[in-house]
Structures are given as C-alpha cells and as structure tokens.
Structure 1
C-alpha cells in the first residue's frame, strides 16, 4: 500500500516497481511506451475489453490503455480514467477489465485511475521525446454516463467537412480516432494542423445497445436523462494549453444537440 501511494504521489514508472508486478490497475498502453525505463510493448497483441472498439485508423499513434479494477463500481459514481487531465467515466466488464484508446503526442503524458470518491488509485507519467509525433492542437472528447447508450460525436470543420461514425477520416487531416459502438465512450476527434475558421461540435443520442444488439426502446435506459460531458482541449501538452468542458443532457433517442461553435 505504501508503494502504491508513493507511486501515485511521485509519478514514477511502473517498471521501476517490481513489487507491483501483479498490480494491474493500469498497465502500459500497447504500442511502445519505451521512455523513462518502461518496456517497449509494441509487439504485443492488443486485447479490447470490454467494448468493441472500431479502429478507423485515423491517427497512427493511438494506444490502448488497459487495466483491471479489483472492485469496479457497477453504478454511479463510477471510477474515472484521467488521461492528460481529461477525465472520463471508467466502465469495465464483469471481471473488472477495461481498455481505452488514446492518441498521445510528444511531451509529458499521464494516465491516472481515480476511485468513485475521487482518490487517486494509480498514476503513471512518462515523457515522450519523439518530436516527429504530432501534437493535438484541437482535441474533442465525448463521454457519457449510461453504458447502454450509443452517443455519437459529430464535428464540422471550417471547410464544411463532417466527421462522424460514417465518415471518420477527413481530407484536411482531422478525424475520429475510435468509434465506441457499444459503450460509454470516450469518442475522440483530433486535428494536429487545424484550419483557421469556424468549428461546430454536435452530439447525437443515436440509440441503445443490449444483449440482442442495437435497439431504440427508450424504456430500457438506465437513467431518464443521459449526461454527456464534452471536453475541448486546445494546444494540448504545450504552454498554451487550455480546455473547456460542457455538460449536455440527452433526454430522447434521436436528439441532436449543438454543443459548441468556436473559432480557431
């Protein structure tokens, strides 16, 4: 326990703590965390738990963050996964396992798991010195609090292109990294070289997902109102970083909500 507290407070690499080899609250993202003494895991096969992520291949630097919670919360409040300061609800399968995708940029990156009462269970931080890795100048993250709801993120860029699950890759360099098709998100939109002009951020309550697949029966919802949190991050991992957060209630299937219009 003392070692865990020291790890969380001191932001030390997991590989530096052999005694914690069995602690899998957070494990290194698959695909090459090889700085600060961490082991290169780029040859390992990725195992996606518990939700089926559709990997659109929009960004080449995406990584799977995987782990296991021994006492996962089955109802609100949930655990949180905080990646580079961006918190999202952390849902697991029946065995407490989870997997989430994220596209890390150069510089200082961190992954943290927090308990439902806000305590830090584990935090890993590393420095990626690869200057060739693109930095996200615009990142939009959508997550929601009902793991049976299918909510989609939609982004309209200044040249009129529309990024969503059916058209995830844009010719201007932006796009959705992973579409979470049967879980609570997060869904990520990222641009490393944004166009100047007006952007629109929308969310759509598309439907629900159950044991028999997709359906549109609102009576099966876990909550009468689904709370969606949209996070906008500008100039991520730079001295100019700033962020905005919006909480959007979704009350009925088919609801399409304009969250934010902004200029870059």
Structure 2
C-alpha cells in the first residue's frame, strides 16, 4: 500500500478501534427482543425493574404495550455519529453510553416485526425477526414515529385527530383509541403515536423543539440551543405489518428552541 493510500484509510481504521482494543469488525448484540415466536403477555412483567440509558423510559399511561430494544454496539462506542436502529422499516438515530450499550422503548403491534442495528454508513450489524402473537395487540393502522439526531435535545410529537383531540406529552391518551407512547425524554426518541381503528378524516402532525438538556437540566430559552440545526425524522406508516403497508418519511430541520412545525396533513 502506498503511503498516501494508507494515510487516507487511517481515520476509518481508527474509527473502529475503540479505547485501545484490538481492531475488529463492527458488530452488535441484541439482548431483546429475541427472534422467533413470542406472546408478550407471558414475557412482559410490569413489576420487574428495568434500567435504560441514560434514564428509564417514562410511562405516562398512554399505551402500556411497550417493549425494550436493548443491546450493545462493539467497536463503535464513543463515535460521535449516531448509528441507526431500524424497527419495522422505521429508521431512527441510535446513541449509546460509554460502553456501547443502548436501551430504546418501542410499542410493537401483532404480526411479524423486525429490529435491525446498522452502522452510520448503513452496514447491517444485527437483525432479528419475531412474530408477536398476542391477540390483544392489534396492528396499528396509523403509526407516526419521531426520532432526531441530537441526544441532548428534547422534541415532542403533537397529533391532532379528526375529532379535534390533541395527543401530546401532557395528554397522551385519547378517548378515540389513539395513544402517544413512548414519550421520549432521554435522548433522540422515539416518540410514537398509534391508532388501531382510526377515525376517518384529516390528521395533523406537528413537531415541537421543546428544549435542550445541559448541566443545569432542561433549558427552554430560545436561541440557546447547542447545535445550529438539528434534524427530526418523522415516519408515517399506514397498515403496518400488512400487505397494504404504505409509508412516508420526512426530514425536518429545526433551528430554534420553541419551533413548532407542521410536518404533514393527511386524510385517512
């Protein structure tokens, strides 16, 4: 190898050598969910304490049907760029702690589900497929999933349903069957809204740049954000896990704390 080629390849080589360890191919472990067939009513234990990074997911009572996607990235921990977590085709940014560990909440519907961990450049590191056989978990007809690329920023998803109800962090459960859960408060999401039996009519999808986390807690002062621009990604999915599935993905730039952006208006 010529000296110039070696110099060009060295940064990439060093990116995969973590904390002085022997260089190895990047990989990922998934402790959950496991592949195969499962009935979550037998596996989910609401009384069992779980620890997430950096804080446990907060269940505000919207939908008590979440599972935890948890595992560890190897040879990639400490890299500034977010890796990708792709759940049922929904790509979300994935950050880890200093040891490469991650825990993200997700509300799976019945039927076939998939979880994939990929590197920032798109390399698939780990993928599992499982079938959720719990008849109490209906597949969502509407799913809106929000993620963003700044783990210190807090974004909020707001959904207006055709009957005028408003789902957001302070009112996650609607009496029309819609629910906002999880409400991501510990990093880059996800936040999700689901409806298994949607009303017919017009829906409005908004994203709000709520605040930034610093040493003193959350900061809500406009103009004090640490990054000039952060990018929110909104995945809109109809009839998830079915032959009629359709999806749209929106990239939304946000520049100032307090920004409220209408992402999509659609009719179901």
Q: Smaller-chain TM-score range? A: 0.7 to 0.9
Runs of 4+ aligned residues of structure 1 deviating over 6 Å after TM superposition are none
Contact 2:31 2:70 in 1 (8 A): yes
Contact 1:50 1:97 in 2 (8 A): no
Could you state the TM-score of these two structures normalised by the residue count of structure 2?
0.82
Match of residue 179 from structure 2: 175
Instruction: Kindly indicate whether residue 188 of structure 2 is the aligned counterpart of residue 184 of structure 1.
Output: yes
1:26-61 CA distance string (max 9 Å, x none): 1123xx9772799x6434542222244221232232
What is the aligned counterpart of 2:141 among 126, 137, 145? 137
Which is worse superposed, 247-256 or 59-68?
Answer: 59-68
1:94-130 CA distance string (max 9 Å, x none): 2221111111112111111001111111001012233
The answer for unaligned runs of 5 or more in structure 1 is 1-22
CA distance in 2, matches of 1:73, 1:156: 38
The structure with more radius of gyration: 2
- Please list, as runs of the form range in 1=range in 2, the aligned pairs for 1:217-236 lying within 5 A after superposition: 221-236=225-240
**Equivalent pairs, count:** 238
Q: Give, in angstroms, the shift of residue 75 of structure 1.
A: 1.8
CA distance in 2, matches of 1:131, 1:69: 33
The answer for unaligned runs of 5 or more in structure 2 is 1-26
1:66-88 CA distance string (max 9 Å, x none): 11112225323x21111111110
Task: Give the SS at the match of 2:183.
Answer: strand
Contact 1:67 1:97 in 2 (8 A): yes
Could you state the TM-score of these two structures normalised by the residue count of structure 1?
0.83
CA distance in 1, matches of 2:72, 2:125: 12
Match of residue 44 from structure 2: 42
CA distance in 2, matches of 1:54, 1:262: 29
Instruction: Kindly indicate whether residue 77 of structure 2 is the aligned counterpart of residue 72 of structure 1.
Output: yes
